[in-house]
């Protein structure tokens, strides 16, 4: 590792040396409210999250299933906005300078906030990457290239329907890691078949050296361990958001998220032994 490497690159390089996959956790900023969401965010690194995806709430999260849709709605109903989301990143950086953080969501809130303003403030806050699911490679000039110019990775999604003709475009300008969507449909869908996903990941690896994280439908430590045997990262989101939705209180929701994170991390750390 070198000093010129980004926080994301350092994290994946270190995990490669440890011969284990990254646990990538997703929670929605402001779900169920700002204070409890911040407590959850601040607790994730110690619970075992190697990379954090922080959802930017949006009224129409079309790629997400019911769990994350409802999480976005809870956050918006309690006043979450882009200013507060970036402030949460600032709060994380006050106590953690090592864990990569990715903002994930849709282009509309970024566009309304102002692309230049958003990128400047995101970089200053300590954001490491962006996943914007509704901006395809054909629109790289809008956000992807400007993000990379300020040192923020732009992480693209590949799916089972991304064929050999489409893949080069997906990989072009992608950095940080590639998010492989293991099943068609929305987030929280049926669990992927590990053998099928492994073959698809290996096919992509023939075209790139970038780390590949696998997500969609991974809910349990056992499922995470199976994916961790071959993926560079395991992404878990809906199961964590459900912990908040099903909790008796917001504080209990935070503890449930962190407890599941600890279990997921433990399973991933031993997956290749």
Q: How many separate domains does the chain show?
A: 1
Among residues 31, 50, 64, 128, which one is catalytic?
64
Q: What is the pLDDT of residues 118-158, one digit of tens each?
A: 999 999 999 999 999 999 999 999 999 999 999 999 999 99
Give the global pTM: 0.94
Q: What is the pLDDT of residues 90-113, one digit of tens each?
A: 999 999 999 999 999 999 999 999
CATH number at residue 181: 3.20.20.70
Q: What is the pLDDT of residues 188-204, one digit of tens each?
A: 455 557 888 999 999 99
- CB-based contact 53:131 (threshold 8 Å): yes
The reply to whether 180 falls in a domain is yes
The reply to whether 168 falls in a domain is yes
Give the pLDDT of residue 194: 85
Give the pLDDT of residue 79: 96
- CB-based contact 244:261 (threshold 8 Å): no
| DSSP states along 140-170 | TTTTHHHHHHTT-EEPPEE-TT--TTTHHHH
Among residues 53, 121, 128, 200, which one is catalytic?
53
Q: Quick one: angle between helices 250-269 and 221-228, nearest 10?
A: 40
Q: Is residue 163 among the annotated active site residues?
A: no
**H-type helices in 178-247, by residue range?**
194-205, 221-228, 238-245
The reply to whether 2 falls in a domain is no
The reply to whether 1 falls in a domain is no
Give the pLDDT of residue 25: 98
Tell me how many helices (H) and strands (E) the chain has.
Answer: 12, 9
What domain range includes position 246? 7-269
| Chain centre to alpha carbon of residue 272 | 22
Q: Is residue 17 among the annotated active site residues?
A: no
Residue from 14, 2, 9, 11 nearest 152 by CA: 9
């Amino acid at each position: 590792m070198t000093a010129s490497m980004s926080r994301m690159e350092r994290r994946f390089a270190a995990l490669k040396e440890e011969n284990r996959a990254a646990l990538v956790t997703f929670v929605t900023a402001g779900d169920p409210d700002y204070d409890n969401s911040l407590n959850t965010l601040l607790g994730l690194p110690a619970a075992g999250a190697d990379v954090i995806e922080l959802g930017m709430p949006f009224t129409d999260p079309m790629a997400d299933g019911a769990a994350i849709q409802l999480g976005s709605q809870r956050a918006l109903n309690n006043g979450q906005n882009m200013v507060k989301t970036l402030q949460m990143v600032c709060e994380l950086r006050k106590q953690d300078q090592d864990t990569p953080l990715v903002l994930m969501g849709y282009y509309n809130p970024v566009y309304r906030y102002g692309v230049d303003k958003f990128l400047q403030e995101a970089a200053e806050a300590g954001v490491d990457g962006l996943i914007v699911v509704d901006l395809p490679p054909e629109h790289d000039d809008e956000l992807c290239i400007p993000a990379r110019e300020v040192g923020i990775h732009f992480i693209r999604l590949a799916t089972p329907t991304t064929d050999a003709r489409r893949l080069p475009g997906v990989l072009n300008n992608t950095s940080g890691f590639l998010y492989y969507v293991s099943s068609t449909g929305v987030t929280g869908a049926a669990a992927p078949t590990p053998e099928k996903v492994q073959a698809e990941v290996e096919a992509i690896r023939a075209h790139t050296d970038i780390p590949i994280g696998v997500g969609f439908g991974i809910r349990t430590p056992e499922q995470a361990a199976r994916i961790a045997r071959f993926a560079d990262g395991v992404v878990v989101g809906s199961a964590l958001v459900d912990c908040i939705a099903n909790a008796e209180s917001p504080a209990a929701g935070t503890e449930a998220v962190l407890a599941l994170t600890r279990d997921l991390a433990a399973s991933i750390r031993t997956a290749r032994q």
